Amino acid sequence: MRIRQWSGKWVIIMMLIISGCSDGQAPVNVDLRKGQLAPCPDSPNCVSSQAENQSRWVHPLRYESERARARAQLLAVLNGMERVEIVQADETYIHAQFRSAVFGLVDDVEFLFDLPGFIQVRSASRFGYYDFGDNRERVENIRVRLAKALENTGLGS
């Protein structure tokens, strides 16, 4: 009985520690560097279309329309998702924050419109070492939603 009381206390303590680590402050490795997204850290909780490491690489998003229209569709897709906040959105760069449902941990997702028809993407967890594939899954979910949105407006990829 006494062990059960302590284990409950440890769960609460761990939740407080984790939630304290997700204070919403942006990490220093978010934003553009010389016209590219920041590289992924050494931890496996990041994917990027500009990653040199094959295990962290994802395809860039594609579109066959004007940049402004594709950008508007991407913003609409992001705004239609749960627990997302658009932090920055200009002509060529979008930074969104996704919060996990349970602990409110923040993942940063960035989009860079560089070459016509391509949107570079980076999704990284702020906290922890492993993400259990969440960032890759999120990028692929956004890819599917964007392709469907572009197809429905005749701007397909």
Q: What is the pLDDT of residues 115-153, one digit of tens each?
A: 899 999 999 999 888 899 999 999 999 999 999 999 987
**92-121 residue pLDDT tens:** 999 999 999 888 899 999 999 988 999 999
Distance CA 137, CA 155 (A): 24
Q: Which residue in the block uniquely carries the two structure tokens 């419109």?
A: 113
Contact of 49 with 136, CB cutoff 8 Å: no
Please tell me which residue, 14 or 7, carries the higher pLDDT value. Answer: 7
Boundaries of every domain in the chain: 37-152
**30-84 residue pLDDT tens:** 667 778 999 999 899 999 999 999 999 999 999 998 999 999 999 999 999 999 9
Measured over the CA atoms of residue 88, residue 89, residue 95 and residue 99, the dihedral's sign is positive
Q: Which residues contact 71 (CB under 8 A, 6 or more apart)?
A: 89, 91, 94, 113
Distance CA 87, CA 76 (A): 14
**11-36 residue pLDDT tens:** 444 443 444 444 445 554 566 777 89
What's phi and psi for 85, nearest 5 deg? -130, 130
DSSP letter string, 16-41: HHHHHT---PPPTT-SEETTEEPPP-
Q: Which residues contact 24 (CB under 8 A, 6 or more apart)?
A: 97, 106
Distance CA 117, CA 23 (A): 35
Whether residue 91 is predicted with pLDDT greater than 80 in this model: the reply is yes
Homologous superfamily of 37-152: Kinase associated domain 1, KA1 (3.30.310.80)
Q: Which residues contact 2 (CB under 8 A, 6 or more apart)?
A: none
